[in-house]
């Protein structure tokens, strides 16, 4: 997940503007690093530069994938709890993703208000984000 989200979140953060919307982007890469550390995971060397071609028009699609995965996290956080993992150990990123159930509907509102100007580019951004996830999960080093 860190291999997927690390570079993408950095690209997103460089593009999102602070607004007074109900929703704002919260990266979880730091939580993923802490979870890896909790679990004694292998040292992870992040790529220095991101290979993702993200721009403002594609951003809504990338955000859709990043935020949408919090819906699946609702399921995963319960399974992680059965393994003894929590907001303080090993499941910090899942706790962050699931802590506020109002985030998803607030994001959808923001998306509907600002994310529909360039639908084809937005879809490209979502497809690229899914492709980046597939690529990241393929690695086993």
Binding site for ligand HEM (CB under 6 A): 64-65, 68-69, 71-72, 75-76, 130, 133
Nearest approach, Cβ of 31 to ligand HEM (angstroms)? 15
SS3 state of residue 108: helix
- Residue 16 or 75 with smaller CB distance to ligand HEM: 75
Rounded to whole angstroms, how far apart are CA atoms 33 and 119?
33
CB 46 within 8 A of CB 7: yes
Nearest approach, Cβ of 69 to ligand HEM (angstroms)? 4
- Residue 1 or 34 with smaller CB distance to ligand HEM: 1
Nearest approach, Cβ of 63 to ligand HEM (angstroms)? 10
Nearest approach, Cβ of 111 to ligand HEM (angstroms)? 10
SS3 state of residue 11: helix
Rounded to whole angstroms, how far apart are CA atoms 87 and 100?
13
CB 55 within 8 A of CB 15: yes
- Residue 18 or 47 with smaller CB distance to ligand HEM: 47
- Residue 34 or 136 with smaller CB distance to ligand HEM: 136
Rounded to whole angstroms, how far apart are CA atoms 108 and 115?
9
């Amino acid at each position: 997940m860190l291999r997927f989200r690390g570079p993408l979140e950095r690209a997103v953060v460089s593009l999102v503007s602070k607004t007074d919307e109900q929703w704002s982007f919260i990266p979880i890469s730091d939580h993923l690093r802490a979870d890896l550390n909790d679990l004694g995971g292998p040292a992870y060397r992040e790529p220095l530069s991101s290979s993702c071609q993200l721009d403002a028009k594609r951003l809504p699609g990338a955000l859709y994938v990043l935020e949408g995965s919090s819906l699946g996290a609702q399921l995963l956080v319960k399974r992680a709890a059965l393994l003894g993992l929590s907001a303080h150990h090993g499941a910090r990123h899942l706790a962050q993703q699931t802590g506020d159930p109002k985030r998803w509907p607030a994001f959808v509102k923001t998306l509907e208000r600002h994310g529909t100007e360039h639908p084809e580019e937005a879809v490209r951004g979502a497809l690229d984000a899914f492709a980046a996830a597939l690529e990241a999960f393929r690695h086993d080093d």
